[in-house]
Amino acid sequence: MSWNDERVELLKRLWGEGLSASQIAGELGGVTRNAVIGKVHRLGLSGRVKAATPARPRKSRVEAPAPRPSNNPQARPATAGNTALATVLETMVETAPAPAPKPVSGNVVPMATRCTIMNLTESTCRWPVGEPGTEGFHFCGGRSASGMPYCTHHARMAYQPMQDRRRDRRIANLR
């Protein structure tokens, strides 16, 4: 599309009438709003006449005063504003401590069952014993429970019920 004299005159007239660049582009056809804006700037058409709008008196807003915060903590909301990132606090109820778990016999890994990573199979316990990279590091090597990577003793240590872990965490935080 090229800007010929006829289209430029139409652009000047529509711009002077206060039409928007999008409206002028629609009237001219084949040009974009940005093309109209660019041509207006190149022609130096500034002093636009604003479109006639009926002058209405603006209504002043009368806002109700914000409620004053109360000193009563139960009367106030727990959070104010956006609650998407609000922390959820758990209520801690102090109960009698649970009985200590019974000591499990066989807590010591026999020398005969200890194995290295090269000796592990699907039927051996993969519980690491010691610090990796040190001389005495090894795996339990005991007979693993079916479908589990650990023997019965280590499975009890690895798979604790969620409630027991929460209780232990609360007790640790109270200390």
**For residue 66, what pLDDT is reported?**
65
Q: Which amino acid is at 128?
A: P
Q: What is the pLDDT of residues 28-47, one digit of tens each?
A: 888 999 999 999 999 888 76
Query: If DSSP codes are grouped into helix, strand and coil, which group holds residue 160?
Result: coil
Does 80 fall in a domain? no
**For residue 126, what pLDDT is reported?**
87
Global pTM value? 0.33
Does 132 fall in a domain? yes
Does 27 fall in a domain? yes
The mean per-residue pLDDT over the stretch 65-89 comes to: 61
Does 63 fall in a domain? no
Q: Which of 69, 132, 140 minimizes the C-alpha distance to 109?
A: 140
Distance from C-alpha of 74 to C-alpha of 44, rounded to nearest angstrom: 65
Distance from C-alpha of 141 to C-alpha of 114, rounded to nearest angstrom: 5
Does 160 fall in a domain? yes
> Could you list the residue range(s) of the whole structural domain that residue 155 is in?
111-174
Domain count, the chain: 2
Does 52 fall in a domain? no
Does 130 fall in a domain? yes
Least confident piece of the model among 90-104, 138-152, 161-175: 90-104
